Amino acid sequence: MPISPVINRSLNPTQIIRTGLLLVLLLSISGCGQLMINSLMKPTIDNLQRQSDPELVCEGAPAFLLMLDSLIVSRPNDRSLLLSATQAYAAYSLALEECGRPQRAGRLAAKARDYGLALLDGLPTLATARTGSLTEFKQALAGVKQNDVEILFWGGYGWAVWVHGQQGSPASLISLPKIELIMLKTLELDESIYHGAAHLFLADYYGSRPQLLGGEPEKSRSHFEKALAISARRFLPIQVAYAESYARLSYDRELYENLLREVIDFPLGSCPELTLSNQIAKQRAERLLDEADLYF
C-alpha cells in the first residue's frame, strides 16, 4: 500500500520535521503551491513503497505524515492531498503492525479512516448518504461515475484499514456492510484498481468467517482468484490473505502451504514498486508457514 518518503539516515528527526514544516510554509505562500504539492506528494508516496525495511518506514515516515497533516489544515478540501494522506496513513498503520506496534497502528488507522471519509464526503452523491441507512447508501453509490472510482476506492480502503486495526470491536464491524458496497461498486467501475484490491477486500470479507457464521467460501475463492489474475500474482498480500482466511478455514493445508511458499520464494526485485507491501507479506508468510501445525 503506497506510502513514502526516501528516508535519509544522515538527518535526525528534528531536522526532518523542520525541513517539512519549512516546505509547508513555502507552499502556503507560493503561487505555484498546487503544482508543487502534486509534483512532490505522489513521488514521495510511491517512493516509500520501494523500501524493503519496514522498521525504517516505521521510524522515518512520521515527519512526512506531519507535513501532510499541516498541508491539509490549509487545504481541507484538496482531493489530491486527501488521497495522499489516506494512502500514507493506511500504509503506515499496516507497517506498524509488522514493527510490533499494534496499538499505535490502530490509533493511526483512524487517520486513514478520517481522510478516507473526507474523500467520500467530497463525492456529491455520498455527501449526506454515508451516515444514513444501508439502503440510502446503496442508492447514493449508484450515482458515482467512472471518473471518481479512485476516490471511491481509496475512501473505502482507508475506512477498511481502520476496521482492520480495531480487532473486531462492534463499533468498527457495523461499518463493514457499507465498505462492502463501496468495493462492489468499485468492481463495477474498474476492478483492476490497485492490483485488484477491491476483489481482495471482498475475498477476505467473505472468507474470514466459517459458513455457520455467515461466511461464503466459494464467493471468497472466486474473488481471490480474480485478484491473483489481475495482479499477475505480483501483489503478495493477496496470497497471504488467501492462505490465512480461505485455505485455513477450509482446512486445505496443501493450498495454504503452496500459497505461502510462493510468497516466500517471490523475488522482491522483480516488482520494485511493491517492495514494502511484498516484504511485509513475505515476513507474515514465514510466520504463518511455521504455524501450520497449529491449524491443520
Query: Is the confidence at residue 64, as pLDDT, over 70?
Result: yes
Each residue of 65-89: pLDDT tens digit? 888 898 899 889 889 889 989 998 9
pLDDT, greater one: 153 or 7:
153
Percentage of the chain lying above the pLDDT 90 cut:
55
| 28 against 63, higher pLDDT | 63
pLDDT digits (tens, 9 = 90+) for 258-274: 999 999 999 999 999 99
Determine which of 29-33, 77-81, 137-141, 236-240 has the lowest per-residue pLDDT on average: 29-33
pLDDT given for residue 38 in this prediction? 57
Half-sphere exposure of 38 (CA within 13 A, CB side): 7
Distance CA(120)–CA(59), nearest Å, equals: 30
Helices (H), the chain: 13-29, 33-48, 54-74, 79-98, 102-121, 134-141, 149-165, 170-173, 176-190, 193-207, 217-231, 237-241, 248-249, 253-265, 275-290, 292-295
Using alpha carbons, select from 240, 233, 235, 181 the residue that is nearest to residue 207: 240
Give the single-character DSSP code of 124.
G
Evaluate whether 48 touches 274 at the Cβ level (below 8 Å). no
Multiple choice CATH, 191-296, 3.40.50.2000, 2.60.320.10, 3.40.50.150, 1.25.40.920:
1.25.40.920
Under 8 Å CB-to-CB from 90, ≥6 apart: which residues? 1, 3, 109, 112, 116, 157, 158, 161
Report the chain's terminal Cα–Cα distance, integer Å. 31
Report the pLDDT value the prediction gives residue 24, as an integer from 0 to 100: 41
Residue 26 pLDDT: 40
Convert 204-233 to b/e letters by CB count within 10 Å (16 or more is b): bbbbbeeeeeebebeebbebbebbbebbeb
Query: What is the distance between the alpha carbons of residues 194 and 277, in angstroms, rounded to a whole number?
Result: 12
C-alpha atoms less than 13 angstroms from C-alpha of 84 in its C-beta half-sphere: 30
Name the pLDDT band for 246 (thresholds 50, 70, 90): very high
Q: Which residue has the cell 481541507?
A: 76
Give residue 86's Cα distance to chain centre: 8
Residue count of the chain? 296
State yes or no: pLDDT of 43 exceeds 80: no
Q: How far is 1 from 259, CA to CA, in rounded Å?
A: 20
Q: Among 283, 279, 213, which residue's Cα sits nearest to residue 245?
A: 213
Number of C-beta neighbours around residue 239 at 10 A? 25
Asked whether the predicted pLDDT for residue 19 surpasses 60, the reply is no
The torsion angle over the Cα atoms of residues 99, 100, 106 and 107, rounded to 10 degrees, is: -80
What is the pLDDT, as a whole number, of residue 27? 41
Q: Which pLDDT score, from 0 to 100, does residue 185 have?
A: 97
pLDDT above 70: percentage of residues in the chain: 83
CA distance 248 to 241: 10
